[in-house]
Amino acid sequence: MRTSFSTNQIILQGNVTNDPKGKRTEKDVFILKFGLATNRSVKVGEEYEDRTTFHQIVCIGKGAEWLEERIKKGHKVLVIGRQENRSYETEEGEKKYMSEVVAETVTPFLTTNGSKKDKQTQEEDEYVDQVEEAVASGKLADDIPF
């Protein structure tokens, strides 16, 4: 019996760097790809500098289809997944290597990191405000089945 243990899990929170692009494979599997930027502050001398790391995110399946319509460039998301390395050959015969994060979960945040909000996010905010107002006024109390 083999007793070694290893794990490959990545948790990233950052900003989408391009509008996601989805496509269907020949076997009818939906694949969505987008870039993600994460930042960290590093002290350089007496000052702090932001350092950005760029990640390629890959989502597979029905969740990817749902996600394609809900995130755009500039949106903040939380990604949980695993690191995958792969290679491919170019048309010129050159072998290329790349790393990707295969997402198991992608959670969009309701705001777009302080940038101008898109129409869907504004509508979500208005709905949340209406529900909070109804709860505060007691209007929803009669609708609760318990």
Angle at 21 between CA 16 and CA 53, to 5 degrees: 30
Task: Say how far apart CA 82 and CA 91 lie, in whole Å.
Answer: 28
Which residue intervals of the chain are DSSP H helices?
62-68, 119-137
pLDDT on residue 145 = 45
**How sure is the predictor about 29, in pLDDT bands with cuts at 50, 70 and 90?**
very high
Q: What would you report as the CA-atom Rg of the chain, rounded to the nearest whole angstrom? A: 21
Residues 36-72 pLDDT 10s: 999 999 999 999 999 999 999 999 998 899 999 889 9
pTM of structure = 0.69
Fold entry, domain 10-109 = OB fold (Dihydrolipoamide Acetyltransferase, E2P) (2.40.50)
CB contact at 8 A, 90 and 96: yes
CB contact at 8 A, 58 and 64: no
Residues 99-125 pLDDT 10s: 999 999 999 986 544 445 555 566 666
CB contact at 8 A, 131 and 123: no
Task: Say how far apart CA 37 and CA 125 lie, in whole Å.
Answer: 25
